[in-house]
Structure 1
């Protein structure tokens, strides 16, 4: 996933022009979701539908099965991290976020999610580090700047 296209998209995340940044952000998410083709995308959509329908256990089982079938499918790990986070299972979510950033070190969404998990667990120093990683990739993402400030305030 370190193609010339990805390198250009990562550069575009740093652009002054908001439209350029938005397009790069959307394209990266698209690439992550479509990493395993139509089948992978369909599995993620099905899991999201189950989650939105309140069938959390079924969504978790589908994502876990998807991860077992495609252990390098970063977005399946990320979707399960989101599911765990919404269920306040912060340690599990943290572990999945860590796996995502091992697979895709420039996954700003997983770095952000990792920061949220660490914040929820009271690990503010580590959370600041994760938000800084997200910010290094997406420097105009004001939410990460805000969260760094909030975590810094919680250290005092």
Structure 2
């Protein structure tokens, strides 16, 4: 990845112009999905087809094979984290999100996912921290701002 280009896109995420932010977000996601070329993208697409047709076990198997074959492919971990989250397997999802962030510290999607997992488990302080980390990268993210408020209201 061209770090100058990525840094430019990261700066665009902080731009007051929503159009600039949206375009930067799309480009960053495209880079992440294409990190491992055609093969990685095809496997992720195959896993999504399994998910769409309700074949969760098959989707998990495909994604697990991909993370085992290419353990530095952050988006493979992220897709599996999403799968686990949608199946209410929050600890597994959280572990995969943490792996994504270890590989790619600017992965605002995984940071958001970590926050969702912590919130689902009732760990609201940790959720707030994760959403704040995501906001450092994407300061205009209204969903993360809203979730911080919701989690703050749930604190004892």
In 2, Cα distance between the equivalents of 1:113 and 1:52?
20
In 2, Cα distance between the equivalents of 1:103 and 1:7?
17
TM-score (norm 2): 0.98
What count of residue pairs does the alignment treat as equivalent?
156
Cross-structure match for 1:94: 94
1:17-28 equivalences in 2 (<5 Å)? 17-28=17-28
In 2, Cα distance between the equivalents of 1:53 and 1:89?
19
**Aligned-residue offset at 1:148:** 0.3
Runs of 4+, deviation exceeding 6 Å: none
**Aligned-residue offset at 1:129:** 0.2
**Aligned-residue offset at 1:111:** 0.4
Per-residue CA distance 1:125-155 (angstroms, 9 max, x = gap): 0000000001110001000000001101000
Gaps of 5+ in 1: none
Gaps of 5+ in 2: none
Cross-structure match for 2:61: 61
- Aligned-pair Cα RMSD in Å: 0.8
